[in-house]
Amino acid sequence: MKFHAFLLCVAFLVQVPAQAAESDVRQSAPEKSEAIPSWANTAQEVLINALSLTGIKYRYGGKSPETGFDCSGFVRYVFQQATSMTLPHGAKAISQLGQPVNKEQLQPGDLVFFNTLRTTFSHVGIYVGNHKFIHAPSSGGSVQIVDMSDTYWAKRFNGARRMETQLHADSSDSH
C-alpha cells in the first residue's frame, strides 16, 4: 500500500511541473500576483503531506499524527501543514468552504465528501487522482488510499470542493 501511495505521489510530482511548463510557454500575460501561490503548487504540497501520513491510526476526534486522526482532523492537519489554512474540525463545516467541483473535473488536492453516517457531508478525504482519495476511514482503520469507484464510496459520494478560493481569501486576510 505504501509503495502504491509513493507511485501516485511520484506520478503527480512529475505531471504537475510538466503541465506548469507547458502553461508558462503558452502564457503571454504576466500573472496577477506572484505573492499568491498557484493552486497546482499548493495541491502538490497537500498531497505530499497527506501521503506522508499513510498508516496513521484512526481516532475519533483525533487531529494529529501522535494521537491519530478522524477524517476531518486528517484533512484539517494536512491543509494546516501544507498551506497554513485553518479549516474547521468537521466534514460538514469544511464542506461549506472553497468552491464546488463536479466529479468529472476533480483534480488532485480537491476535497471529496461522502454520506457515511446517513447524513450528507459526514465524511471527507483528499482526492489524489485516478478516482482515488486518501482519508482516515473509521475505528480500527488507518489513513489509506481507496478507490472512489468502489461500490461503497460511489453510492455515498456527496460532492467535492476546491480550496483554491479559500487559499486566496486566507492570503488576502494576512496582508
Cα–Cα distances (Å) from 60 to 51, 64, 70, 113, in that order, read 20, 11, 5, 17
Catalytic residue among 123, 131, 168, 175: 123
DSSP 38: P
Which secondary-structure segment (H or E) carries 115?
A: none
Catalytic residue among 4, 9, 131, 135: 135
Decide if 84 contacts 162 (C-beta within 8 A): no
Q: Report residue 84 as a C-alpha cell.
A: 497554513
* Residue 71 bears catalytic tag: yes
Catalytic residue among 4, 9, 71, 168: 71
SS3 annotation, 117-155: CCCCCCEEEEEEECCEEEECCCCCCECEEEECCCHHHHC
* Residue 89 bears catalytic tag: no
Decide if 85 contacts 167 (C-beta within 8 A): yes
Catalytically active residues, by annotation: 71, 123, 135
